[in-house]
Amino acid sequence: MSPLFRVRAHLHKGLRTLHAAAEAVDKVDAWETPLDAALDFLENEFVPACNGENFTMLGAVNGIFRSPEAANVMMHQHDSIRRMVEDLSKIVKAARESSSLDEFRTPLLMLLYGLYSVGRVHLESEETAYFGPISDYLSESQVRVLSENLVRLSEGSSAPNQESDGDSTSGAD
């Protein structure tokens, strides 16, 4: 099961950027850089990883449990996390346009600490509930491919274009 833990390790570490941002916002001390780091992590790593999981790991979970809805709760959490990140982005934009951080401090702190908590619980829940069955029912090579596909999709790549048998369909002989 180690490949799945390895490809997701950066997500656990990245959650720390949310604490750093919250501390900076709370102290009104150079808050923009830590907040930018937190948003960058959420928008470019965490949310894309959630999207990748929807098409890889959670599909495998549905198959293992023989139910197309077995992993729905995690997919719904992915949607909620994405919406919270969008809310955070809007509030950060408004805070930048404002002359004062004061009116935005409370919603920023709520979202930063909330996203940290939800993100941590989400990752740990997936690992506890799904990594065991994945390990039990899939071969090592299947888990490796699942992990590779998760990384590929998280990074924004799509399925490679493959020709079925190498025949040309252009009509040229």
What does pTM read for this prediction? 0.86
Measured distance CA(108)–CA(25) in Å, rounded: 8
The reply to whether 66 falls in a domain is: yes
28-to-32, 78, 99, 105 alpha-carbon distances in Å: 9, 30, 13, 8
The reply to whether 167 falls in a domain is: no
The reply to whether 162 falls in a domain is: no
The token pair that represents 8 in the structure block: 């997701």
Measured distance CA(20)–CA(167) in Å, rounded: 55
The pLDDT of residue 24: 92
The reply to whether 160 falls in a domain is: no
The reply to whether 163 falls in a domain is: no
Q: What are 108-129's pLDDT values in tens digits?
A: 999 999 999 999 999 999 999 9
Q: Which domain covers residue 117, as residue numbers? A: 2-154
The reply to whether 164 falls in a domain is: no
The reply to whether 169 falls in a domain is: no
Task: Collect all residues with Cβ–Cβ distance below 8 Å to 1 and sequence separation of at least 6.
Answer: 131, 132, 134, 135, 143
| Phi-psi label, residue 166: left if phi above 0, alpha if psi -120 to 50, beta otherwise | left
Measured distance CA(34)–CA(116) in Å, rounded: 14
The reply to whether 170 falls in a domain is: no
The CATH number for 135's domain is 1.20.120.520
Q: What are 126-140's pLDDT values in tens digits?
A: 999 999 999 999 999
How many domains, the chain? 1
